[in-house]
Amino acid sequence: MKIYFGTKQIKKRLESPALTIGNFDGVHLGHQALFKKVVELASGRCAHSVALTFDPHPLQVLRPDNPPKLISTFEQKIEQIELAGIDVLICLPFTMELAATTAADFVENILVDTIGIRDLVVGYDYALGKGREGNIEFLGRKGRELGFSTHVVPAVVVDGMIVSSTNVRKLVSQGEMRKVARLLGRYYQIRGIVQKGMQRGGPVIGFPTANLKINSQDLCPRPGVYVVQAIYDTHCYGGVVNIGVNPTFGDQELRAEVHIFDFSQDIYGHPLKVNLIQRIRDEKRFPGPEELRAQISRDVEQARAILASEKGLEAACSRS
């Protein structure tokens, strides 16, 4: 997939592209429906399939005091858009200047004059430009005027719920990882660089852990213990993770402590991806290490049983 950062990198118009626009946070099934339509339109005439997105997320600029917690990192977003079969990704830096651009200027100067769109694919509730003035009616009218077609993709509904980034965030914050996976079309994933913790997991408790820091801007699942897949160096392992502050030892820092099954490598300083499959209990304070060790043993036994009955785990790892 070819990636352009800003319109100045586009030296000439693309070949009659089909294009969709959005933030695509999480690249959930609703976004994937847009990409599928774009790929279908483009492949029908051997043209480019294109996605146009923004970085940072517009609300991080427009609402800096209360920005949304992001479902995916920019790196994850790129990976998932490429997996959807998109040929070209255009990433526009989102600034207050871009926010002040009228819908007419955006369509004429960027979509038509710079990119050369032939087909525009948008969601049922999409609008662009200053004040969201460029609604679907506007886009259809501009398309007829400037020579492109506008295609509207209806809402994707799963289990009676509209698939949206807002609903995904809500479910993640509730720890409803099974429902989250149904909206994303894959497991929810956290990732980071393995850091040194308090060195209690192995020596004190008997369950060594890989520790990932959870930053304040990250979308953090509800604290508790989860069944997971840990992906390291292209290999996939079962495991459990405690997300929280480890109250048994009076810690304060929020982090994810991953115990990886049948794994003994030293991975400090290395990247780790963790797919959250199912929440199995709340985080709680135990009287001491012995009681915590006994509970983790029960958690591991339950997690192994869940992993053994899970279908499509290896395929899920290959998409992560």
Range of lowest pLDDT (152-161, 245-254, 258-267)? 245-254
Identify the pLDDT of residue 81.
98
CATH of the domain at 260: 2.40.30.30
Q: Does residue 286 register a pLDDT over 90?
A: no
Query: Do 148 and 201 share a structural domain?
Result: no
Identify the pLDDT of residue 215.
77
- Total Cβ atoms within 10 A of residue 144: 11
Query: Do 215 and 94 share a structural domain?
Result: no
Among the three residues 141, 158, 175, which one is the final residue of a domain in this structure?
158
The mean per-residue pLDDT over the stretch 199-220 comes to 74
Query: Of the spans 81-90, 278-287, 311-320, which averages the highest pLDDT?
Result: 81-90
Q: Does residue 167 register a pLDDT over 70?
A: yes
Q: Does residue 251 register a pLDDT over 80?
A: no
Identify the pLDDT of residue 291.
85
CATH of the domain at 46: 3.40.50.620
Query: Do 297 and 196 share a structural domain?
Result: yes
Residues 6+ away with beta carbon under 8 Å from 251: 198, 245
The mean per-residue pLDDT over the stretch 47-63 comes to 94
The residue ranking higher by pLDDT, 215 or 169, is: 169
Paired residues of 90 in beta bridges: 4, 52
What would the pLDDT profile of 296-314 be if each residue is shown by its tens digit? 999 999 999 999 998 766 6
What would the pLDDT profile of 108-122 be if each residue is shown by its tens digit? 999 999 999 999 999
Identify the pLDDT of residue 124.
94
Query: Do 63 and 9 share a structural domain?
Result: yes
Query: Do 194 and 88 share a structural domain?
Result: no
Q: Does residue 281 register a pLDDT over 80?
A: yes
Q: Does residue 250 register a pLDDT over 60?
A: no
Q: How many domains does the chain have?
A: 2
Contact at 8 Å (CB) between 80 and 27?
yes
Query: Do 232 and 302 share a structural domain?
Result: yes
Q: Examine residue 114 and state whether it is found in any structural domain, yes or no.
A: yes
Q: Which one, of 33, 29, 14, 26, lies nearest residue 53 by Cα?
A: 26
Which of 220-255 are b and which e, b meaning 16 or more Cβ less than 10 Å from the residue's Cβ?
A: bbbbbbbbbbbbbeeebbbbbbbbbbbebeeeeebb
Q: Examine residue 309 and state whether it is found in any structural domain, yes or no.
A: yes
Contact at 8 Å (CB) between 68 and 54?
no
Contact at 8 Å (CB) between 217 and 295?
no
Contact at 8 Å (CB) between 204 and 246?
no
Is the alpha carbon torsion for 132, 138, 144, 146 positive or negative?
negative
Query: Do 152 and 196 share a structural domain?
Result: no
The residue ranking higher by pLDDT, 174 or 319, is: 174
Contact at 8 Å (CB) between 113 and 28?
no
DSSP 247: G
- Position 202 confidence tier, pLDDT thresholds 50, 70, 90: very low
Q: Which one, of 154, 102, 147, 86, lies nearest residue 120 by Cα?
A: 147
Q: Examine residue 179 and state whether it is found in any structural domain, yes or no.
A: no
Strands in the chain per DSSP E: 2-5, 18-21, 49-55, 88-93, 119-123, 149-153, 157-158, 161-162, 188-193, 210-213, 224-232, 235-244, 255-260, 271-281
Query: Do 191 and 149 share a structural domain?
Result: no
Residues 6+ away with beta carbon under 8 Å from 275: 186, 187, 188, 189, 228, 229, 231, 316, 317, 320
Query: Do 311 and 209 share a structural domain?
Result: yes
**Which range marks the domain in which residue 65 is found?**
2-158
Q: Examine residue 170 and state whether it is found in any structural domain, yes or no.
A: no
Identify the pLDDT of residue 218.
81
Identify the pLDDT of residue 45.
85
Q: Does residue 73 register a pLDDT over 50?
A: yes
Q: Does residue 201 register a pLDDT over 70?
A: no
Query: What is the token pair recorded at 65?
Result: 């005091």
What's the chain's average pLDDT? 91
Query: Do 93 and 6 share a structural domain?
Result: yes
What would the pLDDT profile of 37-53 be if each residue is shown by its tens digit? 999 999 988 899 999 99
Range of lowest pLDDT (129-133, 268-272, 289-293)? 289-293
The mean per-residue pLDDT over the stretch 219-238 comes to 95
Query: What is the token pair recorded at 136?
Result: 């679907």
What's the whole-model pTM score?
A: 0.91
How much of the chain is helix, strand and coil, in % rounded to 5?
Answer: 35, 25, 35
The mean per-residue pLDDT over the stretch 221-237 comes to 95
The mean per-residue pLDDT over the stretch 239-255 comes to 77
Helix (H, G, I), strand (E, B) or coil at 281: strand
The mean per-residue pLDDT over the stretch 211-215 comes to 86
The mean per-residue pLDDT over the stretch 220-228 comes to 96
